[in-house]
Each structure stands twice: as C-alpha cells, then as structure tokens.
Structure 1
Amino acid sequence: MNFKKLQAMQAKLDEAILADKAPMTAEGRFNKTLVALSVEIAEVANTVEHFKFWKDNKGKIDESRFQWHGELMDISLGDRDKLVDLRNRMKEVSPKQAHRLTLIEECSDALHFILSLANQANKELVGFNLVPFEAAKEEKYITIQSTICSLVTSYGRNKQVDLEYLMDYFYDYVESLGITPQELEQAYYDKNKINYERLENGY
C-alpha cells in the first residue's frame, strides 16, 4: 500500500472537511476521530457478524446499494448515470459478492480514520510490521479497540508507537476477513471520491 499517497490524500480531505466546521482543539479533534474509528471498526465486525454465535446465516449487505431481484441484485442509486455505470460494471452480483463489497467499503471507512489519526500525530506510516496475530477474530477486534482506548492517554513517542500497533492490528484483522491490501487501497480511493461528492452536496 502506498501510505505516503494515502496520508497525503487524507490530509487534503480532512482540510476540506474542517474548512467549514467550528474550530476545535487538537486534542478534541483527535479524540473525536478515535471515537469515529471505534464505531467504524464495530461496523466492520457487525458486517461480518463473526461474533454472532447464535446466527447461522452471517454476513450483512448494504441494502441502500444492493437490493434483491430474484437471483441477481439491482444497484440502487439516486443518480441515473451512476446507476447505469454500475449496472454495466456489475451485471450479476451474488449475495456473497455483495457482502464482500459491503465489507471492503466498511474497512476503507476505518482506514480513513486511521490515516487521519496518523496525520494528526505527525506519524508517517510505512507498512505492516507485525507478525500475524494468531487469534480468533473476536480477540483481534478487542485488541484493536483496546489500542484505540490506549491512544486516548498516549503522549509523544507512545502515541507514535500505539499508532503503529493500531495499523498493524487493523490490517491483521482485515486480512483475517479475507481482504487484500490491494482491495483495501482501491476501496480507499473509491470512497475518497465519494467523500468529496458528499462535501459538495452538504453532507
């Protein structure tokens, strides 16, 4: 993954977002971003549903994008041109594929906030350094949330180190869900464009 490019893109997006927002302290912004990341990581887990031992049919689908029509799925967007374009690119989308697309997008949302945190802490991300954490997905998830909590009180070098761990733990979790670095990076680029469109439309 090209972290230098990703962090530069995220810095530009954050600047555009903050341009019309009320001023806040650096600490306040950092903590709000931590909460946002914590929620996004929870949404990743809730999309996969790996922790739902009581449920046999796991795997959520973004129903605002994918709706059932027999064996195929219809993509619903308000924009007719986008709808035609998506239909051309995705003639047949199975439930499994729709779930995977939903999951990849949720992971890219989390990546946006990790990049933002790194930028706020002046931490340059360079790659993944951690040996895969041999544990159940639930343990991987809890480790990420624990690391997010530790960042609330991290200072100086500790914050830099905790951000490295956070990136490593996050990708270890994502990889355990079957998402490749290439898919995650491309999803970031795709969602980044959508985020600018949302800004233009007063999201």
Structure 2
Amino acid sequence: MQLEKLFNMQQALDQHIEEKHELQNEELFNRKVLALLVELGELANETRCFKFWSIKPSSEKSIVLEEFVDGIHFILSLGIECGFQNLKYAMNNEPPGSGVSDQFLLIYESVNNFKNSKNEHDFKVLLESYLQLGTLLGITYEEMEKAYFAKNEVNYQRQQNNY
C-alpha cells in the first residue's frame, strides 16, 4: 500500500476543506477523533459482527469497503494533525489472531489511547490495527487503496457541491 501517497492526498483534501470552511485556525483534532469513532461504529454496523441475536448477513463487500475507507480518511487526517505523515510503516500481511468484534474493540481502545497521548507509537498501533481489521474483513491492501482513491474524489465533489 502506498501510504505516502494516501497521506499526501489526505493532506491536500484536509487543506482544501479547512480553507473552504475557514477552519485554518480551528482545533479539529477532537472532532476528527469523534468522526473516526462514528465511522468505526458505522462500519461495525455494516459488518453486523456484534449482532449475535440476528441471522441477517453482513452488508455486501462494496458497502463494507466504503465504510472502511471512511475510517482510513480520518486516521490519516489525525496522523497529519500530529505530524506523522512521513513515518515509515511496516505493513503486516498477517491478520490478527482475534475475531472481528475483538478487533473493533481493540481499535476503539487504540483511538482513545492515541487521543490521550498523541504520540507516534499509539498512532502506529491505531493505523496498523485498523488495516488489520480490513484484512479480517477480507479486504486487500489493493482494494483499500483503490477505494480510498475513489472516495477521495467523491469527497472533493461533495465539497464543490457544498455538502
């Protein structure tokens, strides 16, 4: 995965949004954290991984992938806020040993840890655990990247249409 390219694209989108909405002097970190948590909940809802009381299956992969990519946008944006866009990241191709529900809980915990510390280690844990969730959901790095590019374009179009 070309994380450097994704970070650059996210930085340009963030700058565009901040200029358009005159947010250059606003503190956006906590709002981005909340946005990530909301997106994470939306993703969990589409996977239905926690709905032990229901036999209805997960949403189709394209919907899960779109929700997943929304989370990538906010994670990258948070990393940029803290200056972590130029770090080197090791891409772990092995899915974690835990199940999907446990991975969601780990990510919620990772978001909170990073929110409180704003340090490089906790950011890497958050990013890597989120990408591992994608792997658990059957999403390849190539699919993640392609979906990110497409959603980034949609986000620009939304800004042009006063979304």
TM-score normalized by structure 2? 0.92
Question: Which runs of structure 2 are paired with 1:31-180 in the superposition (5 Å)?
Answer: 31-60=30-59, 99-123=60-84, 124-125=86-87, 126-129=89-92, 132-155=95-118, 159-180=119-140
Question: Which runs of structure 2 are paired with 1:187-202 in the superposition (5 Å)?
Answer: 187-202=147-162
Amino acid at match of 2:150: D
Please tell me whether Structure 1 or Structure 2 has the larger radius of gyration of its CA atoms. 1
How far is the alpha carbon of 1:199 from its aligned partner? 0.5
User: In the comparison of the two structures, how many residue pairs are matched?
Assistant: 161
Higher helix share: 2
| Residue of structure 2 in register with 1:83 after alignment | none
Counterpart-to-counterpart distance in 1, 2:33 and 2:12: 19
Amino acid at match of 2:78: L
Amino acid at match of 1:38: L
Counterpart-to-counterpart distance in 1, 2:63 and 2:127: 21
How far is the alpha carbon of 1:130 from its aligned partner? 8.4
- Deviation readout 1:36-72 (Å, 9 max, x if unpaired): 1111111111101011011112223xxxxxxxxxxxx
- Deviation readout 1:19-45 (Å, 9 max, x if unpaired): 13244766x311111111111111111
Superposition misfits of 4+ residues, deviation over 4 angstroms: none
Counterpart-to-counterpart distance in 2, 1:5 and 1:194: 17
Paired residues of 2:95 and 2:132 also in contact (CA < 8 A) = yes
Residues 177 and 129 of structure 1, relative CA distance in 2, 3 Å threshold: closer
Paired residues of 1:130 and 1:168 also in contact (CA < 8 A) = no
| Residue of structure 2 in register with 1:76 after alignment | none
Counterpart-to-counterpart distance in 2, 1:52 and 1:4: 36
Instruction: Give me the CA root mean square deviation.
Output: 1.7
What secondary structure sits across from 2:20 in the alignment?
coil
What secondary structure sits across from 1:52 in the alignment?
coil
Paired residues of 1:114 and 1:167 also in contact (CA < 8 A) = yes
Paired residues of 1:3 and 1:127 also in contact (CA < 8 A) = no
Aligned: 1:9 with 2:15: no
Paired residues of 1:10 and 1:115 also in contact (CA < 8 A) = yes
TM-score normalized by structure 1? 0.74
